[in-house]
Structure 1
Amino acid sequence: MKNKPSNTRRNFIKNGATLGAALFGAPMILRAETLGLNGRTSPNSKIGMAFIGMGLQMKGHLGMAWNDDVEPLYVCDVKPNKLAAALKEMQNRGFKEIQATPFSEDIMSDDAVDAVVVCTPDHWHAALSIDAMRNAKDVYVEKPMTLTIEEGKAMVEAEKRYGRVLQVGSQQRSNYAFRKAAEMVRNGWIGEVKEIYAGLGSFPPPRLHAPEAIPEGFDYDRWLGPAPYEDYFPYRVEGNYGGGWRCYWDYGSRKAGDWGAHHYDIIQWALGMDNSGPTYFVPKGHSGSPHNYFVYEEGPKVVRDHPDRKGFMIRFIGTEGEVMVSRDNKLSTTPTELASRPLSPNDERLYVSNGHSKNWIDCIKSRKTPICSAEIGHRSATVCQLTGIAERLNRPIRWDPVTEQIIDDPEAQRWQDRVRRAGYELPA
């Protein structure tokens, strides 16, 4: 990743000339060595945790700081207003010594930090997660885990190489209704699954706008990171569930990555495809198709935004019944008695997690594998990325989930990765 001038970091942190002191008259946390934190964890054996990317999605994840096993040490963001607001909130919550920094390097180099929550735009997920793992830190990274297929492969390799506990933020796996739906499908309760409908919705096209002045203190170059340089205007960097940076292919995967990373992940789970995936991806409009869809080899067809979902987010249609599921523990089946039928002794039982962040924290302590590891997150993100490639090329693509390569299409194969700007190379 691109290095900043070292004197900038030192001047930012030292002598009390800190963001907290400047804005709120409150001192930040002292460095780990000053506190006597010479090992990986604090003297009270709490998990030293840092939070990177203080936007909308992070608001829920800050709840990890209230866990008795966690000691929050840093908040981090390149936007001064976001950083200041996060610092103030944490100080108001009683964490008077928490440190704020716009530089992830400060977190990576601090041995007191045991774990990092990565909640940036998608194009930064891989670099920050890999950097954290190679610096002996466990990682919670938002979905989709990566922006490109090759980034996903690198994440899986880093998780193995460094022996870290990585949880992808696909929290529907930690919901009872989604787990029950997946178990019913996995155990053949609705017969052979023929079609699956998933509701993702849509984003508006990316906006074009006249360049504007970069706000003072905002490190826009670092926000762009590995993405191509583009002129600044506010909407491009806006954290907005209805658009903002999520509309741009350089920073996200549009709705395929936004909601597809949730629903396609559950479909992968229900079909027993956590280490595999579909083989054929078709964009909307091809041969008159009214919807994007993809197909598993000798398996079901998954249709995006089919209107006949019976009011649910996902509808599984089998030869002997149906399962429909949504958030808020909404679950319905045909026949209706399936929803209340218990698993038999011979039925396969799926991983039980009753809290996604809690599962991660528990696994940090036990060193067990969490419910959504890098391999799972990578395979689900790959589905999102392949649907996006087919959409952008406006033609079908074929995928080999064993070799993890697009088949017989050199142009499409190039889209499995991207050129990264100099100074923002992917860590090894």
Structure 2
Amino acid sequence: MRGELNDLKTKILREQPCAYYVHCFVHQLQLALVVVAKKNIDIASFFATANNVVNHVGASCKRRNSLRGQLQEELMIAFENDCLITGRGLNQETSLKRAGDTRWNSHYGTLISIISMFSSVVHVLQMVIDDNPNESAGEANTLMRVILTFEFVFHLFLMKVILGLTNDLSQALQRKDQEIVNVMALVKSCKKKLYWMRNNGFDVLVDEVSSFCEKHHIDVPNMEEAFILPGRSRRYAQIKTNRHHYRVKLFIYVIDEQITELEDRFNEVNTELLICMACLSPKDSFVAFDKPKLLRLAQFYPQDFSDEDRLALEDQLEIYIHYVCSSSDFSQLEGIGDLAKKMVETRMHQVFNYVYLLITLSLVLSVATASVERAFSVMNIVKGPLRNKMGDQWLSDSLLVYIERDIFACIENEAIMLRFQNMKPRRGQL
């Protein structure tokens, strides 16, 4: 859709250069996270290893049962030593979570499960090695050698922290009732937390990683010693310390890439545009109304608002907000679309013509959300290979029922049957 040559965004901009395109926030965050894994070879290798560990440990019922048994045994030992916090909902039976490529924040759950079940994972890999020498045992031996290193644990905790900072934002962006202002505030907070972590978080991370390594008997390198790349001779090694490698080449590099992607994909123009647009919302008696921001919104459309029009809009906004706040017709509105309909019904769109123009410009601003992305995904489910000749009307009706299934689940079957019965005369009673 957003290609630079002949895709939908480019064709619209050829017709109307002042049009704005706002990509789906969830997809933008997804792409920003993927870049981190693709641009750094060490992080890419780490995620490949983590996925292999999950696949190898969960490859059979025997290994999964062994993982659960080992975890339960560790919980019992911790309980006997009074080192376990107990309570309702705690210490539930679990397993390693698989990550999905379509939702990159799902890797956060995978990393959390690997950290919490690390010793159990090592136990299962050792069981596979001791079972019998075969190809599976060789792969398990390779994986165990990799995960029992300081470098793997450092990557594990680094990506856990980064994905943890973006996890709340990812969950908020997937909600149907997301508020634009709140989303923009969450994006800004996420950037600030990443900046703070870049400047102040390295020593805290190293301490956490070192503590984890000592607990699981993993060698911790001296940060002031020279870093030697595995497989390379010390004679040809570059003179740099372990601290320089882990802090500059990994920690700062990965966080800078993440911040850069967030800045590029959630740019200031789109952010300001959406925040200004949200000031038109009639929800809670027009509590979001902000005159300077609405005037700023008019400046984004110079072909529709001349200098004289913006001066007239400034005076019109004063009368407009006083009228809509005092009128009972506008007191129960929820969205900008409802506001536009009510203005047409009451003929106020002719009185407040400049305000109505702002509203219509906001309505045609295509802001894709997670709900839109889900609707496209549902099309592949409803119109599959066995139903590829489905007509447009039938497809539209089927999509509506599937997408809004939470609402339709509250409707009684008898009401649906009565609706169909009354549509036209029928021979039999449904």
Per the shorter chain, which TM-score range? Answer: under 0.3
More strand, by proportion: 1
More helix, by proportion: 2
TM-score by length of 1: 0.23
TM-score by length of 2: 0.23
